[in-house]
Amino acid sequence: MKLFLSVLDRLQSYAPQSCIERYDGLSHTYANLLQELSRWNSLFDQLKVDPGTVVAIRTDFSASAVAVLLALFARSAVAALIPRDRDSAPYLEHAQASAFLELNVNGDYEWHPLMQSKHHPLLDKLRAVGGGGLVVFTSGSTGTPKAALQSTERFLHKFQRPGRRLRTVAFLLFDHIAGLDTLFYTLANGGTLIVPQRRDPKAILGLIESHAVEVLPTSPSFLRLLCVAGVADNYDLSTLKIITYGSEPMDASTLARLNVRFPNTQISQKYGSTEIGSPKSVSRGNDSLWLKIKHDGVETKVVDDVLWIRSESTILGYLNGPSPLDDEGWYCTGDLVDVEGEWIRFRGRAFEVINVGGEKVAPAEVEHVILELDFVQDVIVLGESHALMGQVVAARVALANSTMEEKEAANRIRLHCLRRLAAYKVPIKIEFSQECFVNNRQKLERKRLPKTS
């Protein structure tokens, strides 16, 4: 509660300043946000939301959504953030929610009391010390999404450091740890959060121009799409000071294109996960794929090319699974990395590795080579079962040039890969698609290629 009160004091000191601006021109000052916080405090009193109550929330960024989150923190309740694009039922069960709040961006809401068990060792431990909490779900890329429980105090600790007052796009989602990081960094420093209507290149570029945006936090997949779309020159982007990217490996080709298009913009890689939050990090340079995690309460080690982290901000645990931490408090991130002194470079996820006759292939490495070709818009690489080799490399490709024959494109892709990669890494199977490879979180979504007859 001490850290929350510190954040609240800061919000009050920013009262007349712009806090949240929407794509349609509707704006809210910090004073407006505090009024909305007061309103939700009164509503939660009426709804009997007591300390320790788990309230599930499904919403997107708005003044009401932010006020709800702050009101739950204020009463030491637990806010469980439910993905908007999924069936809510299993998430409500995994979070052990006692109530479900569905809130739209205009502040209208539906309140659903739930008959859920209120007892879990981690929740009981949090309640015993009078602390509130936050539940954020993992993506579920390796199985059932995990309900990661964090204490409010641990979560808010990193935002005590003073930062810069900036105008930042709320690009990353409200139910995503990186989206929450964007939100609370902005609030803690009196910045302005700019809320988009859509998260496609034209909508985001238009928002940067119309709202004088200074920071764009996003993903490599979105930045790749932005480069391919070729529409950036149609907008005045002179206010943009910082582009940050994370959540998946960046390819050198896209990074080089970004540096050409935004020569006066700082381009930085960020790292984090639901389990460890977003530790402070620094890129080696605008054009570098190497990153260093600053050791402010964070320890790192690499075991068998996989990054492990131990941090003061690590989650308390999962509500629907065993602890992801070992006996010494280390968390295995599952991220494959190269190491050069203090610097690390990400090359994909360990569980995605393709085993070709005993040889290991990281899909991201092959994708980045294929993306060097200017006629390729996007690509996904994955393993396909093979009777003799166990697995072989397969690729699904979206072409930037619609006039190119698929057979010619496949031949040129294989030839380029043979020049740049070992033979076992070259895709045996190449299919072409016009469907979007990116999910609503603007990340590549790996799906197995359909079997051919």
Per-residue pLDDT tens digits of the chain, which is 453 residues long: 677 888 889 999 999 999 999 999 999 999 999 999 999 999 999 999 999 999 999 999 999 999 999 999 999 999 999 998 888 999 999 999 999 999 998 889 999 999 766 679 999 999 888 889 999 999 876 678 999 999 999 899 888 888 999 999 999 999 999 999 999 999 999 999 999 999 999 999 999 999 999 999 999 999 998 988 888 899 999 999 999 999 888 999 999 999 999 999 999 999 989 999 888 889 999 999 999 997 778 899 999 999 999 988 899 999 999 999 999 999 999 999 999 999 999 988 899 999 999 999 999 999 999 999 989 988 999 999 988 888 999 999 999 877 889 999 999 999 999 999 999 999 999 999 887 677 776 677 666 555 443
Write down the CATH superfamily of domain 353-432.
ANL, C-terminal domain (3.30.300.30)
What's the count of helices (H) and strands (E) in the chain, helices before strands? 12, 25
Distance CA 259, CA 257 (A): 5
Looking at the DSSP assignment, which residues form a beta bridge with residue 168? 193, 215
110-160, pLDDT tens digit by residue?
999 997 666 799 999 998 888 899 999 998 766 789 999 999 998 998 888
CA distances from 37 to 42, 67, 85, 190, 409 (A): 9, 5, 26, 16, 56
Distance CA 425, CA 281 (A): 32
Distance CA 173, CA 60 (A): 7
Do 133 and 149 form a contact (C-beta atoms < 8 A)? yes
Start and end residues for every CATH 3.40.50.980 domain found in the chain: 2-156
CB atoms within 10 A of CB 7: 18
Distance CA 121, CA 91 (A): 18
Model pTM score: 0.90
Question: What is the CATH number assigned to the segment(s) 2-156?
Answer: 3.40.50.980
Alpha helices in 230-387 (DSSP H): 252-261, 363-370
Distance CA 307, CA 189 (A): 31
Burial class for 339, CB neighbours closer than 10 Å (0-12, 13-18, 19+): middle
Start and end residues for every CATH 3.30.300.30 domain found in the chain: 353-432
Residue 202 gets the label, from left (phi > 0), alpha (psi -120 to 50) or beta, of alpha
Do 102 and 109 form a contact (C-beta atoms < 8 A)? yes
